[in-house]
Amino acid sequence: RRHGAGALTPVRGACHDARRVSEQAGSWKGVLFGVGLAAFAAYQQFKLPVVLPVLLERYGYERTLAGGFVSVYAVAGLLLSVWAGRLVERGGAARPVLAALGLVAAGSLPALLAPESGLAVLGGRALEGLGFAVLAVAGPVLANANAPRRSLPLVIGLTAAWIPIGQLTATALAPLALATVGWSLLWWVGIAGAALAAAAVPALARDPVVVLSPARRGASAPSGALSGRERATLMVVACVFGLWSGQYFAYMTWLPQYLVEVHGLAVRGALLGYVVPVAFVAVFNVVTGAVLRAGVPVGPLMTGAIATQVAVWWLLPVTGGDWTGAVSLVVYGIGAGIVPTCLFASPSAVVGAGRSTAPAFGIVMTGRNVGVLVGPVLIAWIAGDGERWNEGTRVFAGLTTIAMVLAAVFWQRLRAAR
């Protein structure tokens, strides 16, 4: 026994050394798992907009209800984001992530079983939204917790790409789905993805280098408790995220339908137009991470990027299906790549290095969920049956302008805190 007990000592020491190395070098496996979880959550949310024109034609959903299919995700987020951040920080991510993946899979079933019932689809999307709320917090937190210290800005840029990665995945699958079994393929892929991710959790939990409990890595760091000033600054960020995500999700939920109704494109052509800004979003998420790593302050970068999107919204009624519309999509995509990277970098910028960002992410993601709740439904209500799209663009131009002003306030608060 004595020999056996002694034989365990090197193993324990090796695990301890591996974890200590993990704290310095990080784990790219853990980073990719965190980004993958968040991207999978985004796929679940955006699998619907890419086939929404087909669903509207086939099942005749009322448009405000159809906007609710996306916005309902935000209801769960409003209820769970702050709680999810605290839960992941205190107890680790494994159990919350497994529960969230189960909810996502269960929520896919009502649409598959009763697609003609708008209320059934809405209920299923609500269940998916509960899982999404946890994954949208746990994914970025795990990516940051596993990031090599010197590569944190790049990881933040990669983390911010979770939305366009999910969008691009759904958009790439949509033509295949419509050409074969139909829109339901996107839902079955979501169920399969949830099963694969759930199978990966136990394996990662056994890896001594991967961090599934952010508090473990920051055990020697200062307390994660937020000061009053930090909380106030994060509330400003949450307001920016709310306004920005409201206009972004309004734009991205209804862009395919807008291109079909206003510019007369077929569904496949509308999907191509949808891909253009999303591709630029993904590229500039990562580019912005590199820019932040080079030392460019997050405040002015975010304010300037929102300003470009303000211009796109105000000019949307005069840009058409020609080169002006193409330029509008590109410029919007560039701005939409820069802004979320800055928003996801904001918690670290506010609380500083060496502290858990989970509580800060909970606050910031609450703001995002408010925007997701309001944006798609608001523009659907304003546009009505498609005859008042221009009125909707003016409203969102004004809201995005307010977001730009609040981003400038955040910039000044960061400068004053130095």
Phi, psi values for residue 148, rounded to 5°: -60, 135
The tens-digit pLDDT sequence of the chain (418 residues) is: 444 443 333 434 444 444 444 445 678 888 999 999 999 999 998 899 889 889 998 999 988 888 888 888 878 778 877 787 778 777 788 899 999 999 999 999 999 999 999 999 999 999 999 999 899 888 888 888 888 877 777 787 787 788 889 988 998 999 999 999 999 999 999 999 999 999 999 999 888 888 887 655 544 444 457 888 889 999 999 999 999 999 888 888 788 877 777 777 777 777 877 788 888 888 898 899 889 888 899 999 999 999 999 999 899 878 866 788 888 888 988 998 999 889 988 988 888 766 766 678 778 888 888 888 888 888 888 877 666 777 878 888 999 999 999 999 999 999 887 7
pTM comes to 0.72
pLDDT for 191 equals 97
C-alpha–C-alpha distance, residues 161 and 241, integer Å: 15
Contact 318, 262 (CB under 8 A): no
The C-alpha R_g of the chain, in whole angstroms, comes to 21
C-alpha–C-alpha distance, residues 351 and 356, integer Å: 8
Distance, CA of 409 to chain centre? 23
| Cβ-based neighbours of 173, under 8 Å, separated by 6 or more | 47, 185, 186, 189
Q: How many CB atoms lie within 10 A of CB 324?
A: 12
Name residue, tokens 């918690």: 347
pLDDT for 124 equals 95
The torsion defined by the Cα of 308, 310, 314 and 316, in degrees rounded to 10, comes to: 60
C-alpha–C-alpha distance, residues 378 and 339, integer Å: 22
CA distances from 218 to 78, 212, 221 (A): 27, 12, 5
Token pair recorded at residue 146: 């596993």
Length of the chain in terms of residues written: 418
Written as one string, the DSSP assignment of 24-76 is HH--HHHHHHHHHHHHHHHHHHHTTGGGHHHHHHHH---HHHHHHHHHHHHHH
Written as one string, the DSSP assignment of 60-119 is ---HHHHHHHHHHHHHHHHHHHHHHHHHHHHH-SHHHHHHHHHHHHHHHHHHHH-TT-HH
Question: 323-351 and 152-160 helices cross at what angle (nearest 10)?
Answer: 130
Name residue, tokens 């269940």: 127
Tell which residue, 308, 301, 307, has the closest CA to residue 349: 301
